[in-house]
Amino acid sequence: MTAQDAAGIYESSARPQVALITNHGYAGAEVPVGGAPDTGGQNMYVNAMALALDRLGYRVTIFARGGFPHFDSDRLRRKPEYLSDRVRYVFVPGGGDEFIRKEDIAVALDEEAEWLDAFICREAEKKGCPPCEVYEFINTHYWDAAVLGLRLVARWRDAVAVDWLRQVVHDVVDEAAIAPLEHDRCRRQPGEAAAYHLGALLIGEVGPGTSIDRRVAEGLERWAAAAGIDAARRHYILKTVRSALQSVREHAAPALEPIAAAEALGEAVLAAMPEHRESLDRMFNAVDRHVWTPHSLGELKDENFRDQPVEVRRDLKFCERRSHERMICNRARLFAATSDEIAQRLRTHYRVPVERMFYFPPCVDTQEFRPYRDKELIDTYRYLADVSGLDDSTLRDATIVFETSRMDRTKRKDLLLEAFAKIAGRHPKALLFIGGGPENAVFEALRRQLEATPALAGRAFLTRPIPDEHIGPMFGIADVYASASEMEGFGMSVSQGAAAGAAVVSSDLIPFSMQYVREEAVIFPAGDAEAMADGIDGVLRDADERRRRGAALKEKAQALNWDNKTAEFIDYLRHRGMPVAPGSEDP
């Protein structure tokens, strides 16, 4: 299907819409895992979640930063891309025409927020609704996307705050006084300071030549008379404002008196008439459909890098990142935690209440990662024959150990090669395939290690990035999925191996293995090649044990089905007050 055909289907669809924002790196319909900076597991998560939303009956727009060339060509990231005919990528310009690493991405966010707001306003006009109602919810991923989400919510709060102010003061304040808030609301931010603007509007009607005390009293009197406020509540409001002014006069400059008076008057009016505050809160809740998925937190990464040289730590800007995250946690309505560690840090370091978190770890597409029938594997065996130089019958008769991930030192593929070399002689039919890319320094080091280890000759093979059509079948072919990784947010590839029914041999630093399948997987201490070799040796030696573990792992992985977990997430948002419409199919 062409992009034009997909665009036509997307635009004509009547399904409810959802927005996902994943801003940094090279997000897109094709995720260049291992081949592009700042691109990997988060992008796979977002794409998989978007496709699950599609299957649940939603249209999805994924917003990502664009306007700069793709990492391996001159192709500009501008035109929409389609993950399916109801899931599209829209690229948001901002920050110039070059790639910006995620540590520096804040320079682009103001421009991106402006563009996003204008884009969504155009979508709202087509739909005939306020901008805040275009999407059932907006789910942002990582801190940079969350800042964009919060900026959109702030703009929409500003708009409804102006409407609310009109309702409260329409009998006593001239429209000419309110109009500047309407036309310049994003600078004045009535959504952040509604009480202040309420008080300022009431005081502003009296006249600048009068003392502030007189202006407060007369402004209050005009409003109270129009609103039918009794004498007791008038007295309470006036007493509250005078007390606030007295405090300012004792401890601050006289120039601050008008600000203090406006804030105190607005707050006192809201305290005396709580129905006004309740109506404002309802309006604010209606426009706030934002939920943040951090994927990682500066507090955790800082801890991971605590022993690194200062030159390395300085470049990662942990202090700046923590500041962004703290602001987000103070303002965001709901959160999705992808791991126990992230959930714990949200609570302990950022004071996010547990009831505002949904636990949403990376899940598995069980339609792709599953056992495959023989006829489905024909092309993948041909692919392996090209990679290895071995014939089809040798490959089909082999016991295959498999690993695929980014070519990164933390994945410890070197340890896997070392472990396999220790046992290759004991298992003449065992083969090892290690996938990933690109051909960087890690890849070259692994190639040298393989060539320098006689026991691995003709038995272990490095592949470049595995073509998409072979990824699922490769997991299906594997008898054992082995990972020595020492830094994982979750361990998506290990969960995919489990879903395919492979026996799993895993380091003890992979959260999926430790939290979900500690008994079913074979766990070894990270960095211990001898223990990893023993683990692989054990499942290769006993076919019945290997099959038993694979079946148990497959059953456990079913709890992480993308469709089921995404449906639970939507139910959680509804429970927390977001009016998410049910998915639907087009006629």
Report pLDDT digits (tens) over 159-175.
Answer: 999 999 999 988 888 88
**Residue-wise DSSP of 120-157:** HHHHHHHHTS-GGGSSS-EEEEHHHHHHHHHHHHHHHH
- Calculate what percentage of the chain has a pLDDT beyond 70: 98
Mean pLDDT of the chain: 92
Distances (CA, A) of 179 to 170, 220, 263, 294: 12, 21, 20, 38
Strands 87-92, 81-84: pairing is: antiparallel
Position 207 pLDDT exceeds 60 = no
Verify that 489 and 554 share a domain, yes or no. yes
Report pLDDT for 469: 93
Report pLDDT for 224: 86
Whether residue 4 is contained in a domain is answered as no
Q: How are the residues of the chain apportioned to helix, strand and coil, as percentages rounded to the nearest 5? A: 55, 10, 30
Verify that 116 and 219 share a domain, yes or no. no
Q: How many CB atoms neighbour CB 433 within 10 A? A: 22
For helices 529-541 and 413-423, give the axis angle rounded to 10 degrees: 50
Burial class (CB in 10 A: 0-12, 13-18, 19+), 108: buried
Question: Average pLDDT in the 495-505 region?
Answer: 97
- Beta-bridge partner residues of 507: 524
Verify that 499 and 404 share a domain, yes or no. yes
Residue 73: phi and psi, rounded to 5, are -165, 180
Verify that 380 and 507 share a domain, yes or no. yes
Strands 399-404, 480-483: pairing is: parallel
Verify that 178 and 255 share a domain, yes or no. yes
pLDDT: which is higher, 393 or 248: 393
> Which tens digit of pLDDT belongs to each residue from 399-444?
999 999 888 888 999 999 999 999 999 999 999 999 977 788 899 9
Whether residue 171 is contained in a domain is answered as yes
Choice among 4-18, 195-209, 213-227, 504-518 with the minimum mean pLDDT: 195-209
Whether residue 142 is contained in a domain is answered as no
Domain of residue 50 covers 15-136
Q: How far apart, in whole angstroms, are the C-alpha atoms of residue 481 and residue 503? A: 6
> How many H-runs (helices) and E-runs (strands) does the chain carry?
25, 14
Verify that 215 and 319 share a domain, yes or no. no
pLDDT: which is higher, 272 or 321: 321
Judge whether 339 and 560 are in contact, CB under 8 Å.
no
240 Cα distance to chain centroid: 44
Residue 314: phi and psi, rounded to 5, are -60, -40
Judge whether 180 and 173 are in contact, CB under 8 Å.
no
Report pLDDT for 306: 81
Alpha-carbon torsion, ordered 122, 125, 128, 130, to 10 deg: 60
Q: What does the block give as tokens for 371?
A: 């056992």
Position 500 pLDDT exceeds 80 = yes
Report pLDDT for 240: 85
Which residue from 238, 236, 230, 232 is spatially nearest to 202, judged by alpha carbons? 238
Q: Which residue has the tokens 């990492």?
A: 71
Question: Average pLDDT in the 317-331 region?
Answer: 95
Through-space distance between the first and last CA atoms of the chain, rounded to whole angstroms: 20
Position 304 pLDDT exceeds 60 = yes
Which residue from 163, 166, 187, 15 is spatially nearest to 84, judged by alpha carbons? 15
Verify that 177 and 92 share a domain, yes or no. no
Verify that 245 and 231 share a domain, yes or no. yes
Bond into 438 cis (ω within 30): yes
Position 206 pLDDT exceeds 60 = no
Report pLDDT for 302: 85
Q: Among residues 286, 317, 351, which one ends one of the domains?
A: 286
Position 36 pLDDT exceeds 80 = no
Q: Among residues 229, 260, 286, which one ends one of the domains?
A: 286
Q: Which residue has the tokens 């794409």?
A: 47
Question: Average pLDDT in the 456-467 region?
Answer: 92
Report pLDDT for 256: 83
163 Cα distance to chain centroid: 32
Which residue from 489, 500, 527 is spatially nearest to 409, judged by alpha carbons? 527
65: left (phi over 0), alpha (psi -120 to 50) or beta: beta
Whether residue 103 is contained in a domain is answered as yes
Band of pLDDT at residue 308, cut at 50, 70 and 90: confident
- Residue 451 sits in a domain whose CATH number is 3.40.50.2000
Query: Is the torsion defined by CA of 578, 138, 180, 109 positive or negative?
Result: positive
pTM for this prediction: 0.85
> Which tens digit of pLDDT belongs to each residue from 1-11?
688 888 899 99
Whether residue 433 is contained in a domain is answered as yes
Verify that 70 and 43 share a domain, yes or no. yes
pLDDT: which is higher, 575 or 40: 575
Whether residue 275 is contained in a domain is answered as no
Name 94's Cβ contacts closer than 8 Å, sequence gap at least 6: 65, 67, 108, 109, 110, 111, 112, 114, 115
> What SS3 state is found at 506?
strand
Verify that 71 and 166 share a domain, yes or no. no
Whether residue 536 is contained in a domain is answered as yes
Query: Is the torsion defined by CA of 127, 133, 136, 140 positive or negative?
Result: positive
Q: What is the largest CA-CA distance in the chain?
A: 97
Whether residue 349 is contained in a domain is answered as yes
Q: What does the block give as tokens for 458?
A: 């003709």
Verify that 483 and 357 share a domain, yes or no. no
Strands 138-141, 430-435: pairing is: unpaired
Verify that 445 and 321 share a domain, yes or no. no
**Residue-wise DSSP of 189-224:** -TTT-HHHHHHHHHHHTT-TTS-HHHHHHHHHHHHH
Position 141 pLDDT exceeds 80 = yes
Strands ordered across the beta sheet of 87-92: 81-84, 87-92, 59-65, 17-22, 138-141, 290-293, 334-337, 357-359
Question: Average pLDDT in the 364-378 region?
Answer: 93
> Which tens digit of pLDDT belongs to each residue from 69-108?
988 788 888 899 999 999 999 999 999 999 999 999 999 9
Q: How many domains does the chain have?
A: 4
